[in-house]
Amino acid sequence: AKTWILKKYFEGFPKESNFELREVDLPEPKDGEVLVEALYISLDPYQRGFTERFIKEGDVQYGGQVAKVIQSKNKAFPVGCNVFVHSGWRTHTLSDGSDLTKIPSNWPKDLPLSLALGAIGMPGLTALYGLEEVLQIKPSETVLVNAAAGAVGAVVGQICKIKGCKVVGSAGSDAKVAYLKELGFDEAFNYKTVSSLEEALKAASPDGYDCYFENVAGPFFTAALSQMKKEGRIAVCGAIAVYNDTTPQTCPYPHKTMLVNHIKMEGFSVWKWKHKDEESLQRLLTWMKEGKLKAKEVVTVGFENTPAAFLRMLRGNDIGKHIVKV
């Protein structure tokens, strides 16, 4: 069995030398335990920030994976059963079952299991909960989302369309903007090439925005705040533009704009609605089967390439959810 451990905490943008590949003995399951083998490893921006908060140098790097049960002494998880487990970058995981989530039994045969790490997994749930629980979007409202071509943002836009909203997305390349149009976004623009963010936001929705699904932070936030409608709602899902900063950014004070326009802003984490996950995953799965939800993936092959794939994901130039096919 193999694991990638965090050798040294990140300083600024992570490097491959932050990680070290280790060979470990294949563990034997005892009564009540199972041994699972990784099929796909998930790479997500949150792993950058969580690493420092939740693991120590020398620990296995943080992250989720889809795995197959290869040995079982636990009737609830027979050999061959596919599961999601949050056990980090390792090829094999020993578990008593308490940290395993079964992939839905009605998972269509022609649907890649890797989607359980993307649109029909944590990023898809993040989009759904941010829109339904935090923003509580209503039909005909106008929703803004940034990092819109990412794993979360692309699902945000598609759910907005399912629910009868107008959705505007921003992304960092013309190819991403074309992809957003393909997905059905009403308006999309390349935030790197527009001369003014405020003007681009205004042109995309002259009446402003009821809701804003915030993934990025930085200057985009300041510009978007100025374009919110009165009583507008903001869901703070992420702040990817500042995750690698070594000194905290000074944020222009948003108070006056928030005060004058009665803006409500709420940060959230997908784990808060864990009790709804099973039912929510079924809804995402149904939308995918109906063709209402589409997803792209960026697949890196080989467990040994996991750190390189992680850095590539953090650079943010590709379109789709990053995964490693073990």
Shortest reach from residue 133's CB to ligand NDP, in Å: 11
Decide whether 270 or 309 has the Cβ nearer to ligand NDP: 270
Comparing C-alpha atoms, which of 6, 17, 20, 23 is closest to residue 60?
6
User: Phi, psi (5° rounding) for residue 233?
Assistant: -120, 140
Shortest reach from residue 299's CB to ligand NDP, in Å: 14
* Three-point CA angle 130, 122, 222, nearest 5°: 40
Cβ–Cβ < 8 Å for 286, 310:
no
Cβ–Cβ < 8 Å for 259, 231:
no
Kindly tell me the burial class for residue 118, based on how many C-beta atoms sit within 10 Å of its own C-beta (0-12, 13-18, 19 or more).
buried
174: number of Cβ within 10 Å: 13
Shortest reach from residue 216's CB to ligand NDP, in Å: 5
Decide whether 217 or 285 has the Cβ nearer to ligand NDP: 217
Could you give the CA distance from residue 55 to residue 72 in angstroms, rounded to a whole number? 28
Amino acid at 177: V
Decide whether 88 or 150 has the Cβ nearer to ligand NDP: 150
Cβ–Cβ < 8 Å for 55, 61:
yes
Helix or strand (DSSP H, E) at 82: strand 82-85
Decide whether 249 or 269 has the Cβ nearer to ligand NDP: 269
Q: Closest residue to ligand NDP, Cβ-based? A: 238
Could you give the CA distance from residue 136 to residue 235 in angstroms, rounded to a whole number? 10
Shortest reach from residue 33's CB to ligand NDP, in Å: 29
Shortest reach from residue 145's CB to ligand NDP, in Å: 10
Q: Which parts of this chain interact with ligand NDP (CB under 6 A)?
A: 44-46, 123, 126, 147, 149-153, 171-173, 176, 215-216, 237-241, 268-270, 313, 316, 321
Decide whether 77 or 191 has the Cβ nearer to ligand NDP: 191
Decide whether 107 or 273 has the Cβ nearer to ligand NDP: 273
Shortest reach from residue 191's CB to ligand NDP, in Å: 7
Shortest reach from residue 243's CB to ligand NDP, in Å: 7
Decide whether 90 or 321 has the Cβ nearer to ligand NDP: 321
Residue identified by tokens 């993936």 is 297
Distances (CA, A) of 183 to 64, 81, 169: 26, 33, 11
Shortest reach from residue 79's CB to ligand NDP, in Å: 32
* Three-point CA angle 154, 90, 54, nearest 5°: 70
Decide whether 92 or 321 has the Cβ nearer to ligand NDP: 321
